[in-house]
């Protein structure tokens, strides 16, 4: 048996130029597939991280139906129990509460609709990047004096529409939870970098928001950060929220982004399929040419008693050695490329794009088990399978005809 494998390895050296050309094609296809898959998954993780860290978090505990239909009085049934359950999961790094309400912001004679979001000033930074994503000013103080003005950090887009500046005093008007009019003045102490039509949020201390909205101690959301995106589903499945409350992951919170990623993944698998087809055609062509050129050799082998299955085995072994060496080189190159791109990413510059509601300014790559091991293994299998027809053809040769000059 080993003699046949050695014979197959030796045969590859008989047509070195053709072997090198086919091996280069397989190696290049493997490297391209590994690098493409790594950049796809790396960029997906980058997009998810931007979306979740910028505001929504990885997981949230909310009242049933609140995600689809937010209402002021639809608060968590038992916020403390939900927080204990969520924070108690080993994969959850931090949890912070929020209250929120839509209303009107006014400055002078200008009025703009937006969201008032009450956050834990001290704990928000452990879950989202809002406190560190300021264009100017400072983040909310943990405590303020009884007579001090109530601070707010607002989106740059909201402040632009109000034609205000840092230090401006803006008013917020909405309906309170008890049916009364909610009205309060806030002083802008910080401005986020968010601009555009969707940037119309003002962050205030959760104590001030609850008092303004007459919510008492109630909470709309508990926002959590998980140590890895791979563990989000585990947290959602494992955490048992109190009756009337649910725990949801980022895919439920940012459905447009989730759908965009799934759609793009389909395109990635199609590309991988094309690479497999190219490998199949390349190996099949090489082995067919080899069989054609070596008909006399196969005829001699069969004339001296070599069985057809041994002819099949040696042909398959040639394809195996050729594919194995090529995918090893291609897989290593793809892995190295992902590692290099994963350090700093590839800046997109002016070509930055919005994808699923998230602005992507660079391409990130990451090495995964599927990309590093799975893709080369699939290419290897495809390479061996591609030689099945040439191997069968070689085994069906008539020794008399094959030996005819």
pTM of the model: 0.74
Q: Report the DSSP pairing between strands 201-205 and 110-119.
A: parallel
Task: Check residue 356 and give its pLDDT.
Answer: 42
Q: What is the mean pLDDT of residues 365-380?
A: 84
pLDDT for res 293: 66
Q: Give the model's confidence band at 378: pLDDT under 50 very low, under 70 low, under 90 confident, else very high.
A: confident
pLDDT digits (tens, 9 = 90+) for 22-43: 788 888 888 888 888 888 888 8
Q: pLDDT tens digits, residue range 161-177?
A: 999 999 999 999 999 99
* Average pLDDT score over the chain: 84
> Alpha-carbon distance 271 to 266, whole Å?
9
Q: Is the pLDDT of residue 62 over 70?
A: yes
Q: What is the pLDDT of residue 357?
A: 44
Contact 84, 210 (CB under 8 A): no
**Which residues are registered as beta bridge partners of 355?**
358
The half-sphere exposure of 107 on its side-chain side, counting CA atoms within 13 A, is 19
For 128-147, write each residue's pLDDT tens digit: 988 988 989 999 998 887 77
394 or 51, higher pLDDT: 51
347-374 CB burial, b ≥16 within 10 A, e <16: eeeeeeeebbebebeeebbbbbeebbee
Note the pLDDT of residue 146. 75
Residue 168 gets which letter from DSSP? -
d(Cα 209, Cα 100) in Å, to the nearest integer? 8
Look at residue 16 and tell me whether its pLDDT is greater than 50.
yes
pLDDT score for 1: 57
320-350 pLDDT, tens digit per residue, is 888 888 889 999 999 998 888 877 777 776 6
Tell me which of 142-151, 214-223, 263-272 is least confident: 263-272
* pLDDT tens digit sequence for 66-104: 999 999 999 999 999 999 999 999 999 999 999 999 999
């Amino acid at each position: 048996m080993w003699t046949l494998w050695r014979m197959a390895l030796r045969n590859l050296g008989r047509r070195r130029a053709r072997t090198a050309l086919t091996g280069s094609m397989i190696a290049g296809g493997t490297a391209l597939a590994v690098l493409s898959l790594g950049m796809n998954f790396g960029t997906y993780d980058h997009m998810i991280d931007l979306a979740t860290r910028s505001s929504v978090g990885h997981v949230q505990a909310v009242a049933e139906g609140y995600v689809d239909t937010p209402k002021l009085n639809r608060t968590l049934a038992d916020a403390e129990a939900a927080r204990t359950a969520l924070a108690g999961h080993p994969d959850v790094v931090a949890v912070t509460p929020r209250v929120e309400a839509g209303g009107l912001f006014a400055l002078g004679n200008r009025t703009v609709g937006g969201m008032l979001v009450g956050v834990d000033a001290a704990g928000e930074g452990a879950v989202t990047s809002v406190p560190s994503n300021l264009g100017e000013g400072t983040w909310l103080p943990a405590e303020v004096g009884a007579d001090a003005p109530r601070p707010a950090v607002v989106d740059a887009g909201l402040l632009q529409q109000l034609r205000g500046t840092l230090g401006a005093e803006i008013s917020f008007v909405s309906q309170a939870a008890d049916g009364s009019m909610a009205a309060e003045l806030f002083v802008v102490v910080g401005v986020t970098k968010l601009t555009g039509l969707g940037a119309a949020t003002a962050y205030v201390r959760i104590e001030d928001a609850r008092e303004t909205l007459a919510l008492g101690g109630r909470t709309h959301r508990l926002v959590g950060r998980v140590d890895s995106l791979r563990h989000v589903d585990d947290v959602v499945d494992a955490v048992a929220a109190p009756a009337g409350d649910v725990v949801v992951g980022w895919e439920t919170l940012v459905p447009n982004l989730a759908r965009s990623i799934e759609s793009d993944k389909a395109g990635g698998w199609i590309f991988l399929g094309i690479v497999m087809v190219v490998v199949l055609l390349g190996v099949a062509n090489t082995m067919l040419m080899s069989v054609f050129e070596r008909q006399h050799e196969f005829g001699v082998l069969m004339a001296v008693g070599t069985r057809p299955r041994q002819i099949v085995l040696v042909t398959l072994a040639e394809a195996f050695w050729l594919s194995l060496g090529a995918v090893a080189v291609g897989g290593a190159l793809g892995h190295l490329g992902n590692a290099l791109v994963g350090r700093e990413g590839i800046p997109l510059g002016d070509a930055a794009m919005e994808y699923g509601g998230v602005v992507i300014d660079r391409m990130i790559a990451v090495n995964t088990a599927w990309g590093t091991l799975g893709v080369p293994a699939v290419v290897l299998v495809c390479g061996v399978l591609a030689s099945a027809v040439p191997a069968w053809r070689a085994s069906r040769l008539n020794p008399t005809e094959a030996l005819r000059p």
